[in-house]
């Protein structure tokens, strides 16, 4: 066993709280799970030995980071190195919304059941998060409540910090909410952040995971969703990539007639790596899922996408689609993409496509015929390739806030 893991387990054994029974299960599983390496399928392209090598300690070098989203009127829950910052957070909530700290979860009747309910046990660092996450939030949206303001969970990280946070969200039947998970920081730190969403019957969730930690950061986490009958999910993931960035998205259609949509943008530079494993689990008939993953990869960066669609035996009349398009900006950039379709029902429509995109010559000619130079047109088309998904974001303030940042990041890639 790796010494890092041994230390982590002994640290976890000290944790005593209302989640202890659940934590013990995960610890037991961890003890029987080998440390992932290149031969572990789920970690084939993503080396994790940097975690063992790096030294983490309590941070003392505080860096103030700008995390505000302009023109977004949101309910803010701010964490710095995994510690809740009450002063920077919103304290009063609209009717129908109940938010409490994970540490106070013992008093929430639903929380214990929701812990580990939608997050599958297969995720190695999910188990570590199970064992170690003592901070985080519980969000409960009452049935039929329409929460207009987005709930924004902001996590920023100081150099050298190590933290584990957990978010549990329950959205009551017929309710509507928007949750933004925002992670920022470019210095070496290690964090795991897992979120579980239980979306009730006919409820609607608009979700954003802004995985904008970059450069030296080590960030591993996931967002996991369970959809009851006629529930609707729109999820947007932005991945900047870093020394090690890994996100697992699991979307489980547990009720019929649910619809889910996942749009993902990667924008990777330098030696950054971003690894997304998505999994759509159709366990019941009648359901629609759609995922669009677009990557621009520059320099020596590495984009990994593993997209799984699993349609269970009796889950007939499913429409599932997956589309992954990649744009390589340099000869040394890498894309490792793997669609994984497991279809056990016979009356379904499942489409998937992967391309390493070339510039669309028809669009190129159109732009050039207006006087735009070929290099300028190339920039416009490449940025347009990801901006198309930004345009689809339902929240205009978030889209408007993201666009110049993506443009800037993209422009920096161009310079080399």
Q: Which residues sit at the interface with other proteins, rule CB under 8 A?
A: 360-363, 365-374, 376-377, 380-381, 383-391
Q: How far is the CB of 395 from other proteins (least distance, A)?
A: 16
C-alpha count within 13 angstroms, C-beta hemisphere, residue 269: 17
Report DSSP letters for 347-384, one per residue: S-EEEEEEEEPPP-HHHHHHHHTTT--HHHHHHHHHHH
Q: Which residues, 6+ apart, have CB-to-CB distance to 138 below 8 Å? A: 99, 100, 101, 102, 104, 105, 108, 111, 168, 169
253 vs 294, which CB is nearer to other proteins? Answer: 294
Q: Which tokens is 395 given?
A: 């929240």
52 vs 391, which CB is nearer to other proteins? Answer: 391
Least Cα distance to 139 among 129, 127, 153, 125 occurs for: 153
| DSSP for residue 57 | -
Q: How far is the CB of 407 from other proteins (least distance, A)?
A: 10
342 vs 388, which CB is nearer to other proteins? Answer: 388
Q: Within the chain, what is the greatest distance between any pair of CA atoms?
A: 68
Q: How far is the CB of 413 from other proteins (least distance, A)?
A: 17
Q: Which residues, 6+ apart, have CB-to-CB distance to 190 below 8 Å? A: 51, 54, 56, 161, 162, 163, 218, 219
323 vs 336, which CB is nearer to other proteins? Answer: 323
| DSSP for residue 150 | P
Least Cα distance to 211 among 244, 242, 238, 243 occurs for: 238
Kind plus residue range of the DSSP H or E element containing 206:
strand 204-213
199 vs 386, which CB is nearer to other proteins? Answer: 386
274 vs 383, which CB is nearer to other proteins? Answer: 383
Sign of CA dihedral 150, 136, 205, 177: negative
Q: How far is the CB of 410 from other proteins (least distance, A)?
A: 12
332 vs 388, which CB is nearer to other proteins? Answer: 388
109 vs 362, which CB is nearer to other proteins? Answer: 362
Sign of CA dihedral 185, 205, 42, 336: negative
Q: How far is the CB of 321 from other proteins (least distance, A)?
A: 17
What is the separation, in whole angstroms, between the first and last Cα of the chain?
A: 42
Axis-axis angle for helices 20-31, 124-132 (nearest 10): 140
DSSP strand pairing (258-268 vs 162-171): unpaired
Q: How far is the CB of 378 from other proteins (least distance, A)?
A: 12
107 vs 369, which CB is nearer to other proteins? Answer: 369
Task: Count CB-CB contacts under 10 A for residue 46.
Answer: 20
Q: How far is the CB of 295 from other proteins (least distance, A)?
A: 14
Q: How far is the CB of 361 from other proteins (least distance, A)?
A: 6
Say if residues 301 and 270 touch (Cβ distance below 8 Å): yes
Q: How far is the CB of 363 from other proteins (least distance, A)?
A: 5
Q: Is 177 helix (H, G, I), strand (E, B) or coil?
A: strand
Q: Which tokens is 316 given?
A: 């007939």
104 vs 391, which CB is nearer to other proteins? Answer: 391
Q: How far is the CB of 362 from other proteins (least distance, A)?
A: 5
Q: Is 309 helix (H, G, I), strand (E, B) or coil?
A: strand
């Amino acid at each position: 066993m790796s010494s890092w893991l041994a230390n982590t387990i002994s640290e976890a054994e000290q944790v005593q709280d209302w989640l202890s029974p659940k934590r013990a299960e995960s610890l037991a599983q961890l003890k029987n799970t080998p440390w992932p390496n290149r031969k572990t399928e789920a970690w084939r392209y993503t080396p994790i030995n940097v975690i063992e090598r790096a030294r983490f300690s309590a941070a003392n070098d505080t860096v103030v980071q700008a995390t505000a989203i302009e023109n977004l009127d949101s309910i803010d829950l701010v964490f710095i190195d995994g510690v809740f910052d009450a002063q920077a957070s919103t304290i009063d909530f609209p009717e129908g919304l109940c938010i409490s700290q994970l540490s106070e979860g013992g008093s929430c009747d639903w929380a214990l059941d929701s812990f580990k309910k939608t997050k599958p046990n297969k995720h190695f660092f999910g188990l570590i998060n199970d064992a170690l996450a003592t901070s985080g939030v519980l969000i409960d949206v009452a049935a039929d409540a329409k929460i207009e303001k987005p709930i924004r969970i902001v996590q920023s990280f100081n150099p050298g910090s190590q933290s584990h946070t957990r978010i549990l969200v329950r959205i009551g039947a017929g309710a509507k909410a928007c949750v933004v998970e925002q992670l920022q920081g470019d210095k070496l730190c290690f964090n795991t952040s897992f979120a579980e969403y239980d979306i009730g019957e006919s409820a609607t969730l608009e979700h954003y995971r802004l995985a904008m930690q970059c450069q030296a950061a080590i960030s591993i986490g996931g967002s996991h969703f369970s959809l009851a009958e006629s529930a609707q999910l729109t999820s947007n993931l932005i991945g900047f990539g870093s020394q090690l960035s890994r996100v697992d998205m699991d979307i489980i259609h547990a009720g019929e007639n649910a619809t889910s949509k996942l749009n993902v943008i990667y924008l990777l530079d330098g030696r950054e790596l971003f690894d997304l494993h998505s999994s759509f689990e159709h366990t019941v008939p009648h359901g629609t899922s759609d995922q669009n993953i677009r990557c621009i990869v520059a320099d020596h960066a590495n984009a990994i996408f593993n997209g799984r669609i699993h349609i269970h035996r009796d889950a007939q009349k499913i429409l599932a689609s997956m589309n992954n398009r990649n744009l390589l900006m340099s000869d040394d950039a890498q894309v490792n993409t793997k669609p994984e379709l497991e279809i056990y029902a016979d009356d379904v429509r499942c489409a998937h496509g992967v391309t390493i995109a070339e510039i669309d010559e028809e669009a190129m000619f159109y732009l050039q015929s207006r006087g735009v130079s070929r290099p300028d047109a190339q920039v416009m088309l490449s940025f347009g390739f990801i901006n198309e998904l930004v345009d689809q974001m339902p929240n205009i303030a978030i889209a408007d806030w993201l666009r110049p940042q993506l443009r800037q990041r993209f422009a920096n890639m161009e310079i080399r």
